[in-house]
Structures are given as C-alpha cells and as structure tokens.
Amino acid sequence: MATIDRQAATLALAHALSAAEHGLAVLPLSRTKLPALRSPHHDDPDPACHGECGRFGHGVYDASADQARIREMFAAAPWAAGYGIACGLPPYHLIGVDLDTKSGTDAPAALRELGLRHLFTVPDTVVVLTPSGGRHLWLTGPPDVVVPNSASRLAPGIDIRGAGGYLVGPGSRTAHGAYGTLPGTARLPPAACPPALLRLLLPPPRAHHHSGVAGHGHGRGLVHFVLTAHAGQRNTRLFWAACRAYENGLGPALSTPLTEAARHTGLSEHEARATIASAARMTGHRP
C-alpha cells in the first residue's frame, strides 16, 4: 500500500483543479509519475476498454476537466502526489516538448539546431521545470492534426507528448522533487507550434517507394499513402501527404485525388478538405 502524504495529495488536487479551470484535462499521478489509479481490468485484461466500463484506472483516458470527476479520482487515489495533463485534447490540443538533460544530452541545444536547420523559432510559451533539470515546453496544435508521441526521434533527449500522452503538471511532487513553472511563463497561454516544427513531429511514410519522376510518380505515392491509412491515422496521413504535395508544387493538382483517397478511408469530404486546407496554410500556400 502506498504511503499517503495528505499535504502532497491536497496540493496536487488543488493544482489539478486550477489547471482544469483553464480547460486542461487532468488525472492523478503517483510519485513515480505514473497514473495513480490501478486498472480495473488488472485481473481480467481488457485492452479495448478506454473507460467505457465506467470505472477509473484507464490512465490518460481518465483525464477530465470536470471538477466533480477530478475530486472523485483524487478521492479514489489519496496517495496521489501529482497530476498529469492530457495532450491532444480540445481546447488547446496540447503538444509537449520534453527536453532532457540527463545522460550527457543537451536537448535544448539540439532543439535550437533543429530550428536553425528548418527555419523555426520556439515562441514564448509555458515552460515547466523538472526535478532533473529538464524542461517541458507547452505548444498547441491544429484541431485536425494528430501529433503522435515519440522518444528521441527528433534528436537525442527530445521526447514529444501528443495524442494519448500526458505531461506532469506544475506543482506535482515526485520521488525526485517537484515540478514548477519557469518564472515569467506561468501566466502565458500555450503558444502555437511553429508550422516547420509541426511537420517534423508528424510521422514519415512507412516505406512506400514509388519509381518515376517527381510529378506523377510522387503524386501517386502520396495518394496511395493516404489510401492505406487505418482508423486513427487517417487525418495524420492526409495532413502529411498534403504538406508534401504543396511543398513539391503538387498541391492544387493533388487536392481532389487526396480528398477522394481520404473519403475512401472513411473521412468525410468536409473533414478531408479542411485538413488539406490546413496543410496548405502550414506550408505557406493558399488552399
């Protein structure tokens, strides 16, 4: 049985309720930074259940901005010493950029180098300081783009928290210390993710190599990439393909084929055209 620190639990609840007042969905965490509530399916695994059973213990799927529900979760986990903030949910569609400084990595320098190489700068935004000396940058993404979680894919020490992930909230206490906001950033709203960085956060196509010269061959490859999308990755694949199309001067020509491919996977025409228009804007083009 976890040791109950009443003061830490009370402070964690207070911070979680404050975050929820700003529209952030939260869940209680233990001192190990893991969800504090045990899965109700521990003895009878049901990986398909994301909370439909009505019980707590589904990790980030428990996250809520409803004050009454948050109090219920913390009451069920009196040993909680912190809280997590779910990423990818409205109204912010939060993207967390976790910059690690352990093991000799210099993630902040790596992010600056990426910015110089891909021509973006990270705007002023909320910055959370971790007990180990790292930083969490809070950014927002477009509502029609799903940013996946990743670990050191951009560069060593840079982890991304996207849809299905969570960030440890400021005010949380862990076995190694407390999380807090960098002075001067607590009252800032999360800033929009720079378009060039957002493109880096989206997954590349798996391995669809098509021969042919850059025009038609590349276009057919992008359409095929969208056609082979599964549920949960349709918008992400369409957005990625549309960005590549506009970057290569094929955007107007591929707009309709990409829309039809997306409709074939189950997206509505309205959803598909909205995603393609978002990609056009992200790459500096008119939809």
Instruction: Give the per-residue pLDDT at 46.
Output: 57
Separation CA 94–CA 159 (nearest Å): 14
**Residue type present at position 134:** G
Query: How many folded domains does the chain comprise?
Result: 3
CA-to-CA dists, residue 94 to 1, 62, 71, 163, 194, angstroms: 33, 17, 23, 8, 13
Separation CA 78–CA 30 (nearest Å): 10
What is the C-alpha end-to-end distance of the chain, expressed in Å?
A: 57
Q: Does residue 204 lie within any of the structural domains? A: no
Both 15 and 106 in a single domain?
Answer: no
How many C-beta neighbours within 10 Å does residue 41 have?
15
Domain end position, chosen among 162, 196, 230:
196
Q: Does residue 287 lie within any of the structural domains? A: no
Q: Does residue 4 lie within any of the structural domains? A: yes
Q: How many CA atoms lie within 13 A of 80 on its CB side?
A: 33
Which tens digit of pLDDT belongs to each residue from 140-152? Answer: 999 888 898 998 8
Burial 177-188 (b: 16+ CB within 10 A, else e): ebbebbeebeee
Q: Does residue 121 lie within any of the structural domains? A: yes
93 φψ region: left (φ > 0), alpha (ψ -120 to 50), beta (else): left
Both 192 and 92 in a single domain?
Answer: yes
Both 171 and 91 in a single domain?
Answer: yes
> Which residues of the chain register pLDDT less than 50?
1, 206-215
Q: Does residue 40 lie within any of the structural domains? A: yes
Q: Does residue 129 lie within any of the structural domains? A: yes
Give residue 272's Cα distance to chain centre: 21
Domain end position, chosen among 42, 63, 85:
85
Separation CA 181–CA 1 (nearest Å): 31
Instruction: Give the per-residue pLDDT at 179.
Output: 97
Both 3 and 20 in a single domain?
Answer: yes
Q: Does residue 205 lie within any of the structural domains? A: no
Q: What is this structure's pTM?
A: 0.73
Separation CA 222–CA 260 (nearest Å): 12
Which tens digit of pLDDT belongs to each residue from 170-220? Answer: 999 998 999 999 999 999 999 999 999 999 998 765 444 443 323 455 688
Both 97 and 191 in a single domain?
Answer: yes
Both 43 and 131 in a single domain?
Answer: no
Instruction: Give the per-residue pLDDT at 211.
Output: 36
Angle at 202 (CA atoms; ends 237, 253), nearest 5 degrees: 45
DSSP conformation class of 190 = P
Both 43 and 137 in a single domain?
Answer: no
Domain end position, chosen among 43, 66, 85:
85
Instruction: Give the per-residue pLDDT at 168.
Output: 98
Both 139 and 183 in a single domain?
Answer: yes
Q: Largest Cα–Cα distance of the chain, in whole Å? A: 66
Determine how β-strand 135-140 pairs with β-strand 158-161: unpaired
Boundaries of domain holding 155? 87-196
Which tens digit of pLDDT belongs to each residue from 39-58? Answer: 888 776 656 677 778 889 88
Q: Locate 8 and state its tokens.
A: 């830490």
With H, G, I as helix, E, B as strand and everything else as coil, classify residue 34.
coil
Instruction: Give the per-residue pLDDT at 221.
Output: 82
Both 10 and 103 in a single domain?
Answer: no
Instruction: Give the per-residue pLDDT at 282.
Output: 77
Both 245 and 265 in a single domain?
Answer: yes
